[in-house]
Amino acid sequence: MNRLTHQASARCRLGPGVAATAAAAGVMLWPIAARADAGVPMLGLVWPAAWALFIPIVLVETFIARRLLALPWAQCAKLTLLANAWSTLVGIPLTWLALFLIEVVGGLSVSLFEVESASAWLFLSPLFAAWLGPGARPWHVYAAAAWLCIPFMGVSMRVERWSAQKMVAPGPAKRWARLANLATYVPIFAALVFMAVVLLAAARLE
């Protein structure tokens, strides 16, 4: 009886995450199929990139877990693998979906206009970073991806802390999740900003 209750509880916890992932994927793909000039849904770029970086990130965060939590290497690897699986599989698409809904409500009117000034675009880009409008330039994509790193990192810290608390105390779990995500997201953010600046400078020279 307890086993059945545990399985049912696990399905209930997993259900909303799977539904959110499916909803985000559906929202992303539907307009692309409907029209060719639908713009750039950033989930289609950042989510595959997150999976491509999954193993290197797990390795870095496992090392940090080993230093902070004093667990055996196998336990650190398990903790990090499970935490990152949750944050990548559920956290990223769920966060993107929330940002997309904010864009629809508050930023859609802005995205309908062509913003020529780079400074104005950077100022307004948080409103439509989830889904770039038609005619997005390469530097727009990198800048939007950099902006998305900020909410993704915040959500990842919370999701990974929640996952890690199944194996360690809340305090160490929170400290590990914060430091591990800073160690991985900050270099990614810096690289994206660098690429956006380089491409912007190249575009101005054309």
Output the tens digit of pLDDT for each of the chain's 206 residues.
Answer: 444 444 444 444 444 444 444 444 444 444 443 333 557 889 999 999 999 999 999 999 999 999 999 899 999 999 999 999 999 999 999 999 999 988 887 655 555 555 556 666 666 667 778 888 777 788 889 999 999 999 999 999 999 999 999 999 999 999 999 999 999 999 999 999 999 999 988 887 86
Structure confidence at residue 113 (pLDDT): 54
Neighbours of 79 (CB within 10 A): 25
Tell me the three state secondary structure of residue 39.
Answer: coil
Neighbours of 54 (CB within 10 A): 15
Structure confidence at residue 2 (pLDDT): 43
Structure confidence at residue 26 (pLDDT): 44
Say if pTM beats, i.e. exceeds, 0.85.
no
Q: Half-sphere exposure of 121 toward its Cβ, with a 13 Å CA cutoff?
A: 20
State the sign of the Cα–Cα–Cα–Cα dihedral 25, 26, 31, 34: positive
